[in-house]
Structure 1
Amino acid sequence: MPQLKDTYPLYLNNKAVLPNTDLEVTDKFTGEVAFRTALATPDVIDEGIAGAVRAAEPMARMPSYERQAVLQHCVDRFKERFDELAYALCVEAGKPIKDSEGEVTRLIDTFRIAAEESVRMYGEALPLDISPRAKGYQAIWKRYPIGPCSFISPFNFPLNLAAHKIAPAIAVGCSFVMKPASKTPLGALIMGEVLAETNLPEGAFSILPASRDGADLFTEDERLKLLSFTGSPGVGWDLKAKSGKKKVVLELGGNAAVIIDHDADLGDALERVIFGAFYQSGQSCIGVQRIIIHESVYDRFKDMLVARTKTLVAGDPKDRNTFIGPMISEGEAKRLKGWIDEAVEGGAKLLCGGHRAGNMLEATLLEHVDRDAKALNEEAFGPLAILQKFSHFDEALEEVNHSKFGLQAGIFTRDLFKMFDAWDRLEVGGVVINDVPSYRVDNMPYGGVKDSGLGREGIKFAMEDMTEIRNLVIRRT
């Protein structure tokens, strides 16, 4: 396997800088320090924001083909460094190596899509002569970069969720500063190393690992015109309240549900639900947390789920046979273990799992969970799924909507009318038919409603958020 270096720099105004090695990043399986990176101090963050302001105009004037070339360079270099990126992710996030390789593939896809979209910033000719007073007038509108952007990315997809901010910013011509998660900064720093090889204007990007307190600097500075944050709901809404006049895009949490209707192919649904619930130890905001099963197939599907869950291999994420790796920290594992115990004390039945050792938590299934339990209502963000039973499809839809979150939902059904009914009625940002809510392709609009956030990611849709429409009105008579 590739070797990691002992220390990594931050990237300030396109350049590698190593003012200190204050941030220790651990191997999430062994708990040992894997490497150290520079930690950005407030003066460094301020310098990065100032550089982004200086770079705003040259970035906006950069021709589309040059921006496309930068993005294509990233695609090529990420392919060359595929194994290194996957191994770094496996170490710093504890993500099983097969899943890490899958995320690198998505990173490449995301930059490739951005390269394609960078030359498709279309506008529109708009007739204005809708009444006699506008005779002889016409309009043309197009999109312009919004200006310097601030990005805060999470630990669970440290490559691809950073890419979903960086790639569209370059595609539209926005300079940016990024704060990667301090537990998993390396993927973003490697992206910075690759971007530093390009001809982006000085100050076009800064990638600055910082303490959580540093998030305020990325949020409140009025020189920044957009904040894009991916992370926990509590932090996200708090940052929005502090963000002032800037545009805010929030991709927050969820407790996603999947419905298994009576006509579902249970064998097919089983493998997808297992993936959705326990992929990367359930640390996904669209991970399957609630499994809502029709009463006629409930017992059969429950038995299938329990048997399959017990076969999942847990252990070292560097082992290619491992499916369940460590959670991001022992504190997070203790939190979720506490929620499981609380649910059982409240009358829930533990079907399998439930044991913890350090930051390793077994894949866990519960049923008969009390309506008010945290395990059912909050975002588990770990290897826990809860089984529920329904009699009528309307009940299942109501149960999905019985949540303060609304990111994505999945439905296994062969009924076309139920599909469209669910699409109309579910209070979520996306409905996935015959698959789990965890399914995402990187060019689709992705985001949620209610406590799950504001705005949409997906390259084209993020590009729209990072631009402003400017109208041109022409009087011809």
Structure 2
Amino acid sequence: MEYRLWINGQWADSQGGEVLEVENPATGEIAGRVSNASAADVDAAVQAAKAAFYDGRWSRQTPKDRSKVLARMADIIEARQEEIARIESEDTGKPYEFVALGADLPFSIDNLRYFAAAARDTHGGHAGEYAPGYTSIYRREPCGVTAGIAPWNYPFMMAIWKIGPALAAGCTSILKPASITPRSTMLLGEIAKEAGLPDGVLNILSGNVGRALVAHPDIRMVSLTGATETGSNLMKGAAETVKRIHLELGGKAPLVVFADADVATVAEKVKIGAFFNTGQ
């Protein structure tokens, strides 16, 4: 099956016409195909998200109503859990039982419900100590069009982490899954539409368009989970248009073992750390 792009509430072909094959790393077989988005597709998605933000179809909905839509999305994901887990298993090579019953899908559903609840907590605050006779008031407002770039290790869950807070705040979002594990994430578009999310609020682009997203002047914030070098390049690119950025970057954790440690316990933990999540 070939997955197209999700732009402005509907499936769309890539304007570049290119397609990427997705390989099941456990078998070497081709699990599916996705459209490879182009710079023109990025602009189309951004314009849809920008229009959806500024006309208020989402940003001016009440926190209560935004919360309801996100909660319905979580319910639909739960109802389609087996289907999503199967696709995620094929893309990542993880055992189906781990995806469906372990961390990936259960955490995704729970996290989205958390964001749905957080959508109703938008209070600001005030302070009177800055200048005599004056009160300073601050409030929380959506920043505009956001972009989320998700990694390959937990594709669906990380996608939820990228779009959940943005949608809860009233922002519109463009989501780019990792090119080698995109298919489960592509389903979020139709799930969101079924839940009542207005067209244009969530757009999903598969393919190699990370740089085009970062460079686009109408995107106000970018969130990336990925390699340290990629994050460094993103910071440089974001500086050109003074974007807000949120980075979770790769790294290695050293293991310090003291002389009085239980060697058997340490060995067991090292084994888990080395091979958990399909060897990540």
Compute the displacement of 1:15 (Å).
1.5
Residue matched to 1:177: 174
Alignment partner of 1:250: what SS?
strand
Contact 2:186 2:204 in 1 (8 A): yes
Compute the displacement of 1:54 (Å).
0.9
Deviation per CA, 1:178-210: give whole Å up to 9, x if none: 111111111211122211213323311110102
Once the two structures are aligned, what percentage of the paired residues are identical?
Answer: 32
Matched residues in 2 for 1:41 and 1:184: separation?
Answer: 18
Amino acid at match of 1:196: K
Contact 2:76 2:195 in 1 (8 A): no
Identify which of 227, 231, 237 aligns with 2:226: 231
Residue matched to 2:212: 217
Residue matched to 1:32: 29
Gaps of 5+ in 1: 1-5, 284-477
Matched residues in 2 for 1:254 and 1:162: separation?
Answer: 20
Alignment partner of 1:115: what SS?
helix
Alignment of 1:406-421 (within 5 A): none
Matched residues in 1 for 2:77 and 2:260: separation?
Answer: 43
Alignment partner of 2:212: what SS?
helix
Name the structure with the higher helix share.
2
Matched residues in 2 for 1:16 and 1:220: separation?
Answer: 24
Residue matched to 2:205: 208
Contact 1:11 1:207 in 2 (8 A): yes
Query: Which structure has the greater CA radius of gyration?
Result: 1
Compute the displacement of 1:107 (Å).
0.8
Alignment of 1:121-160 (within 5 A): 121-128=122-129, 134-160=131-157
Contact 2:74 2:112 in 1 (8 A): yes
Alignment partner of 1:38: what SS?
strand
Higher relative contact order (CA 8 A, sep 6+): 2
Compute the displacement of 1:273 (Å).
3.0
Residue matched to 1:82: 81
Deviation per CA, 1:155-188: give whole Å up to 9, x if none: 1111111111111111101101111111111121
Matched residues in 2 for 1:113 and 1:173: separation?
Answer: 15
Matched residues in 2 for 1:63 and 1:127: separation?
Answer: 28
Matched residues in 2 for 1:56 and 1:266: separation?
Answer: 56
Alignment of 1:415-430 (within 5 A): none
Matched residues in 1 for 2:246 and 2:213: separation?
Answer: 14
Residue matched to 1:10: 5
TM-score (norm 1): 0.54
Matched residues in 1 for 2:179 and 2:231: separation?
Answer: 16
Residue matched to 1:113: 114
Matched residues in 2 for 1:98 and 1:263: separation?
Answer: 37
Matched residues in 2 for 1:269 and 1:182: separation?
Answer: 36
Residue matched to 2:245: 248
Change (3 A) 1:264 1:108: farther
Residue matched to 1:393: none
Gaps of 5+ in 2: none
Amino acid at match of 1:15: Q
Q: CA RMSD in A?
A: 1.9
Residue matched to 2:164: 167
Matched residues in 1 for 2:25 and 2:121: separation?
Answer: 41
Deviation per CA, 1:110-152: give whole Å up to 9, x if none: 1011011111122112123x6xxx4332122111111101111
Alignment of 1:59-458 (within 5 A): 59-101=58-100, 102=102, 103-128=104-129, 134-211=131-208, 214-243=209-238, 244=240, 245-264=242-261, 268-283=265-280
Matched residues in 2 for 1:97 and 1:123: separation?
Answer: 43
Amino acid at match of 1:114: F
Contact 1:21 1:36 in 2 (8 A): no
